Amino acid sequence: MAHRSWEQHAQAVRRLAESFAAIPAGQPVRLAKRTTNLFRARAATDVPGLDVGGLDGVIEVLPDAPGGPVAEVQGMCTYEHLVDATLPHGLVPHVVPQLRTITLGGAVSGLGIESTSFRLGLPHESVLEMDVFTGSGEVVTTRPGDDLFDAFPNSYGSLGYATRLRIRLAEVPPYVALRHVRIDDADLLAKTIAEIAATRSYEGRPVHGLDGVSFGPGEHVLTLARWTDEPGPTSDYAGEQIYYRSLQTCERDRLTFHDYLWRWDTDWFWCSGAFGAQNPRIRRLWPRRYRRSDVYMRMLHLDRRFGIADRLDRRAGRPLRERVVQDIEVPVERLGEFLAWFDEEVGMRPVWICPLATTRPWPLYPLEAGKVYVNVGFWGTVHVGPDAVDSPRNRAIEAKVHAFGGHKSLYSEAFYDKDTFDALYNTARLEAVKRVHDPDDRLTTLYDKAVKSR
């Protein structure tokens, strides 16, 4: 875990500004990051990225701050390092996304989500103040209600980069008690989610975290998490056992709070299976420290670079694959319809389900405030044949999601035409803010980033 003093933070911001000034006008401005959780390819460039070295730590954890505990955190700090700093105080961020190397600034500008989102919203909704390095080369301090602050979520760097964030923290106990509720009907699944979101309880017990997995038609599991001080034996899913499989085999479980936060990271949900990491013989030889999402992401980038899977498919005579990696939100009452359509048209399972409700409107991701939506996450490939190059499944998903009154996040590939994209993501508001804070258009537009992969 990196601890940064205020002076070290100021020095890092100065280096960031100097690296920005060194990039010639008209050249792409990008972060020089070693890790990424984006699934969008980027056009190659020889231009150096912004120097964000020294902006990856925690400045202060303030358990006794007026109004409740807070932390002062640098924008490139990963949630892994952030939690390492807060958990010894019995505190965590309100929403901790599933993967260790997601950064706080990335989750705020790109919409993170997790099991507490049904009651606490998205990561940006617990931010009290942030410093944004803008396209004009200045650091602007902004707060909720400011145009820059409100337009920042879902801007993906098109308005600038967060260098410092003051965030609320929540008190948590040492353990999490889990109950896996099996449901065989998608409409009942949606009804149960809606009831838990409304009452924050199930059969008289409080529910602090809520997510689940749909393994297939008629096989859905909701995981109800309850924070608890009660001691007892805990499971270890960073070892030989695999978390998502436990949802099908046990009804109740217990994890340390730390292990609960990273329960999905060890096997990248279930995607580690593509690399053999779920094969018991291989898993025993796979070092524990390498069972984590960023390792699998690096392996995925190698596969993309050298086309390994495509070569194997051609050699075996299998149809060409289309990569279908998306997270979407649909209103909870449309969840059953979406899953039925998804089974028929895409046929990929399992999928992750995670309810959320935003606390107020956010202009660039216009979900209705207070309304319960369900995030459906699906990550894999589908054999579709020669049409795969046109991404027919992804385009169909985009159309269906919005027909159901939903939305999709932009961390992965998007295929919208410009007019549709502008309407869905309110880019008129974004462009108005951009004219103020990036008058010379130094930063890539959101459409160019999300759709054109620039």
What confidence tens digit (pLDDT) does each residue in 140-183 have? 999 999 999 999 999 999 999 999 999 999 999 999 999 999 99
pLDDT tens-place string over residues 314-352: 777 777 888 899 999 999 999 999 999 999 999 999 999
- Residues 256 and 232 sit within 8 Å (Cβ to Cβ): no
pLDDT of residue 418: 96
> Would you put residue 291 in left (φ > 0), alpha (ψ -120 to 50) or beta?
beta
- Residue 407 in 3-state DSSP? strand
Compute CA 195 distance to the chain's CA centroid, rounded to the nearest angstrom: 25
Flag whether pLDDT at 41 surpasses 70: no
Which domains can be identified in the chain, with CATH numbers?
Answer: 6-172+433-450 (3.30.465.10), 175-264 (no CATH), 307-415 (3.30.70.2520)
251 vs 73, 353, 391, CA distance in Å?
38, 18, 39
Which pTM does this prediction carry? Answer: 0.94
> Which DSSP symbol is given to 170?
E
Q: Tens of pLDDT along 274-315?
A: 889 999 999 999 999 999 999 988 888 776 676 666 676 677
Which among 75, 134, 135 has a CA at the least distance from the CA of 105?
75
Question: What is the predicted pLDDT for the residue at 453?
Answer: 77
Cα–Cα distances in angstroms (integers) from residue 210 to residues 120, 197, 336, 396, 414, in the given order: 11, 9, 18, 28, 28
pLDDT greater at residue 453 or residue 364: 364
